[in-house]
Amino acid sequence: MSRVAIIGCGMTSFGQQWDKGLVDLAVAASLRAMQDAGTESRIVDAVYCGNMSSGMFTGQEHISSMIADAAGLRMVPSTRVEAACASGAVALRQAFLAVKSGLHGCVLALGVEKMTDVSSTMSTRILSAASSQDYEASIGATFPGLYAMLARKHMDRYNTKEEQLAMVAVKNHDNALANPYAHLRKKISVDDVMQSQRIADPLKLLDCAPVSDGAAAVIVASEKIAGKADTPVWIEASAQSSDSISLHHREDLTTFKASACAAREAFRQARTGLNEIDCLELHDCFTIAEILALEDLGFAEKGSGGKMVEEGLTHVGGKIPANPSGGLKAKGHPIGASGIAQAIEATWQLRGTAANNTSPSKVLTHNVGGSGATAVVHIFGR
């Protein structure tokens, strides 16, 4: 079957962008991606936009046609896709499928979220719409609370330490220092994390990804079109899985089964194994999430993710660098944009132009919706 590649990338800075609206951000990223692809924009024949909740954040639904129009792509089919915090990776996956189908040759896949125009109380409430309203949000279990339960269970069962969680944050902040697009470019220490405000015990403020505005976009093209591009990066696998939305319906709170399932499928599609992957972008909305991901994807034995971080294996220069971009934790987490931003970091790593270059041969990205009800894994290669 013919291959599919990323041939262009563009993103906005992540952070508080009070002078820009959702469409402004989406269009800025999209135009940069089209320019980077070096193709004329009129060759783009479909658009997918990952976005979790423009309706609740901004009062505007139906944003896909607005973005296409404002980006100079009026008449082009344009569709919003949503799977909570995994909306970005799901948009990339739809672009991949659309090209694979043969109906489209060159697709703009973007993600965007405008989160800071509402109060932090309101953004917490809106984000909780990605968890079960009936069983979780209604009793006050917001996402920090849900991930705190996962962290507590992991600590109890596997002797994972709060300091190991903190080390994820320290590493990702270190990585973000070099990333001009990152929201939190600030060096922190384990002590800083340990002494930051407790949000939902054992998670503290610096264990949590920030609330950010931002957009990211890639141009996904058929083998025929990509063959003319300078540095195509091939999408070798695009796999997605789902699970119960509520934690109480899971057999085990120390694993995201959807992540493991999507990873298995991704390795099958790419005909590759763990050992061939040498760089990771993981869904670290909270520090415990990066540890769960290392284990669920198979890079750490179950229960040993904290130790792996402590040993420095996931640092840039370590055995398998994780989140050289700074991750959601320090790069920022404009919900719908995060999955696309991961794909951009993968592309830049494989092109050799990333800020923290790790010279990988294959990069795996991992994007999660909610507390694991959606997981998407992509594998990229040169």
Q: Which of the following is catalytic: 173, 333, 366, 378?
A: 333
Residue in 175, 212, 240, 259 binding a copy of itself, rule: CB under 8 A: 240
Site string for a copy of itself, 77-106 (x = CB under 8 A): xxxxxxxx-----x--xx-xxx-xxxx---
Distances (CA, A) of 272 to 191, 318, 323, 361, 379: 39, 21, 21, 12, 9
Compute the least distance from the CB of residue 139 to a copy of itself, in Å: 14
Q: Which of the following is catalytic: 85, 106, 261, 285?
A: 85
First to last CA, the chain: 17
102 Cβ neighbours under 8 A, 6+ residues apart: none
Q: Cα(130)–Cα(121) distance, rounded to whole angstroms?
A: 15
Residue in 20, 31, 72, 129 binding a copy of itself, rule: CB under 8 A: 129
Residue in 369, 378, 379, 381 binding a copy of itself, rule: CB under 8 A: 369
Q: Which is nearer to a copy of itself, 96 or 348 (CB)?
A: 96
List binders of a copy of itself among 102-121 (CB under 8 A). Answer: 102-103
Compute the least distance from the CB of residue 195 to a copy of itself, in Å: 34
Q: Is 9 a catalytic residue?
A: no
Within 10 angstroms of residue 74's Cβ, the number of other Cβ atoms is 10
Q: Cα(129)–Cα(203) distance, rounded to whole angstroms?
A: 21
Residue in 24, 31, 60, 304 binding a copy of itself, rule: CB under 8 A: 60
**Dihedral sign computed on CA atoms, order 326, 141, 58, 112:** positive
Half-sphere exposure of 83 (CA within 13 A, CB side): 24
Q: Cα(84)–Cα(127) distance, rounded to whole angstroms?
A: 8
Q: Cα(81)–Cα(169) distance, rounded to whole angstroms?
A: 30
Compute the least distance from the CB of residue 287 to a copy of itself, in Å: 22
Interaction of residue 257 with a copy of itself, rule CB under 8 A: yes
Q: Is 315 a catalytic residue?
A: no
Interaction of residue 155 with a copy of itself, rule CB under 8 A: no
Structure tokens at 367: 């994007």
Residue in 162, 213, 236, 243 binding a copy of itself, rule: CB under 8 A: 243
Q: Cα(305)–Cα(293) distance, rounded to whole angstroms?
A: 8
- Positions in the binding site for a copy of itself (CB under 8 A): 1, 47, 52-53, 55-56, 58-62, 64-66, 68-69, 73-84, 90, 93-94, 96-98, 100-103, 126, 129-133, 137, 238-245, 249, 257-258, 261, 369-370, 373-374
